[in-house]
Amino acid sequence: MDNVNIGFIGGGNMAASLIGGLLASGFTPSRLFVSDPNPERLTYLASQYQLHTRADNQALLADCEVIVLAVKPQVMRGLLSGLVFKSADQLILSIAAGIRTDAIINWIGKPIPLVRAMPNTPALVRSAATGLYATAKVSRKQREIAEHIMRAVGITLWLEDENQIDAVTAISGSGPAYFFYLMEAMEQAGRDLGLDEKTAHLLTVQTAFGAAKLALEVEDSPTHLRERVTSPGGTTEKAIAHLQDHQTLTIITDAVKAAERRSRELATQLENAS
């Protein structure tokens, strides 16, 4: 990795998170490049991370062996159609949501090594969960490079079927919002029960953090962990029974499946957009 130049097309929050994570892992700042249409953003990134900036995307391509596409999905087609990639071995890592590899290769106009990544917003605090899919032209070394980049902000999991990215989007991509929604409800309940806003918030957030940490660090399934907390005749059993009476598990499962269907629909729309 030390002899590889990595270029980011797009200098938004996700790119900045990856850059910060790479530097924290020991990556050399002089090996990092970023381009962005906003001069003020480039000035900030250069000052914050001591990396190279480029006002022109094509110039960035000439400097780097690895290109991270970190732009909004809606502008991807126009951006790629105007670029000329210097080498058939140049690795492209796309973190743009909803754009399939076939579409990216079609817009570039030739087969290239391409990895598609689906991170989530906890990347901003280096706690992401990222699904990765590689096309056939990606070498083992390039897979390692892509994994290293995305591991700078959290865990990574490789997928053998690109269609599974829609499931990843539904589980981890959209997943933080599900937990925030539950946290909203818990905070509101706490206020309704007489707690002040700060207390309700801190209790909810710390409980969410503790539950996630416990689930990560023990081998028990979520089902077993729930059962361990649920004493017969106790307060937790009463709450869980209420959730079960209202078919909450089915509602959540159906909601995640709805997100997966929408992910597939959006991918098709992006590919067909002029």
What are the tens digits of pLDDT across the range 121-148? 999 999 999 999 999 999 999 999 999 9
User: For the chain, which residues make up each domain, given as ranges?
Assistant: 6-168, 173-265
pLDDT at 3 over 90: no
Average pLDDT over residues 217-238: 96
What per-residue confidence (pLDDT) applies to 272? 82
pLDDT at 274 over 60: no
What per-residue confidence (pLDDT) applies to 137? 94
The pair of structure tokens assigned to 206 is: 């710390």
Cα–Cα nearest to 11, from 77, 83, 69, 79: 69
Average pLDDT over residues 98-114: 93
User: Does the domain formed by 173-265 have CATH 3.40.50.1970?
Assistant: no
Q: Which CATH number fits domain 6-168: 3.30.70.2740, 3.30.360.10, 3.30.1360.200, 3.40.50.720?
A: 3.40.50.720
Per-residue pLDDT band at 262 (split at 50, 70, 90): very high
